[in-house]
Every structure is written in structure tokens, then in C-alpha cells.
Chains A and B, each alone.
Chain A
């Protein structure tokens, strides 16, 4: 079945610098890749997603890239701010299975002032 690996588990960056979180998936049939942000004590919320017919998507300071050949996708956050501190989860959706998102283990992003 599908498996999603997420790295790193913890990422600490200086405020203003960029942060990159990477995920790999195992099933080439996966076609939808969302990213969720979970602030401490809060619920996960979608911040950006990408479908397999697109290589890159941007929304202000965040962007996601998808490499279908290598089966990996990445979240890029530029000009990081304190409010970016959170746990970020990637996920992959496999069309051919029962509807189920396969989740990565999460990355704790720490923004240092």
C-alpha cells in the first residue's frame, strides 16, 4: 500500500530564512498531495495542495513542488515569521483505493527570533 515519509522531523530556522520540508510517497498512482499546518493545541488546517497534473503551486510565502518521476513533493516557506511555528503534515491520496489520505509523520517547524 501507499506509504508517505516526511523529513525532517524537526526543523529550526532563523526568522526571515526559508524552510523546506520534504515528503516521498511509494505509489506512483497517487494524484493529490495536501499540506496541513497544526499549531500547538489546535486542529490541522489545509494550507496548500497540489494535484499530479501540476508541478508547482504558490500562495504568497508558501509553495509546493511535485516531482512525479522521483515520487516526492516539498513544502517551501519563504521569509519565515514566528507565526509559521507549527507542525506541518504532508499527505498523499491514492485514487484507486478507498478514499484515504496517507499521512506523513509531521515536521515540527521552529522559527527562532
Chain B
């Protein structure tokens, strides 16, 4: 099993640019989570999906952030326009059923200049 796959692993962009982060969950998993991690705020849940449907997006910081899950094997988190305060590590995680182990991807380290 390849585990949760995220791309890109590192992203450096300039303020105002659009950023798209990608995630492929573990095959067969029915929950997908997007987290943001910073030193100041720790691990924050942004949004999660169940069977491709967004269930709770109350953690999405503002309208600049959007997430989609067009099918069971792919999800995107988009930031448009990006700002320096969006710099963080973004993790995707998936799980089968609840509550069960969340398997995290390697993360995308985003730096917005």
C-alpha cells in the first residue's frame, strides 16, 4: 500500500498567486481530512469529506480557501490568492470508518513570499 500521497511536497510562491495542493487517499478509505500545521496554531482541521461529500468546512480560514473531492481517489485544496500568512505545512489524512486511525500523507510545505 502506497499510503496517502500528496503533491507537491514543497511549494514556494509569491503573494497573490494561486496554489493547488493535491491528495490521493488510501484506496478504500471513506474519510479524507485536510489539516494545516504551524508553530503558532498547531494542527488545525480545515475540512473533511465523507464519501467525497464535504461534511464540515468550519475550519477553512476564509473564502480564499476551497477544497474539492471529485472522486474517491483525489482531492484538492486551493488557495487563491495566497498570502504570506498561509505559509504552513498542509497535511492530508484518510481513514476507513470512524473513529479509526488517521493515516497522514507526507505533507506539503508551503511558503508564500
Which residues of A line the B interface, CB within 8 A? 31-32, 34, 42-46, 49, 89, 93, 98-101, 103, 105-106
Contacts and interface: CB of A to CB of B under 8 A. Distances in A.
Given A43-B107, A44-B91, A100 B56 contact: yes
Main secondary structure of the interface of A (DSSP, over half): strand
Contact of B104 (A45, A98, A99, A103): A45
Given A43-B91, A43-B106, A43-B107, A100 B45 contact: yes
Contacts of A34: 99, 101-102
Nearest to B104: A43
A100 B34 CA distance: 12
Nearest to A30: B99
Interface of B: 31, 42-43, 45, 48, 50, 55-56, 91, 98-99, 101-102, 104-107
Which of B50, B101, B105 has the most CB atoms of chain A within a 10 A radius of its CB? B101
A44 B99 CA distance: 16
Contact of B43 (A32, A42, A89, A99): A89
7 contacts: A43-B91, A43-B106, A44-B104, A98-B56, A99-B48, A103-B43, A106-B43
Nearest to A51: B99
B104 A101 contact: no
Contacts of A43: 91, 104-107
A52 to B, nearest CB: 11
Contacts of A32: 99
Contacts of B99: 31-32, 34, 93, 99, 101
A97 to B, nearest CB: 9
Contacts of A106: 42-43
B42 A105 contact: yes
Contacts of A100: 45, 48, 56
A110 B106 CA distance: 23
A93 B42 contact: no
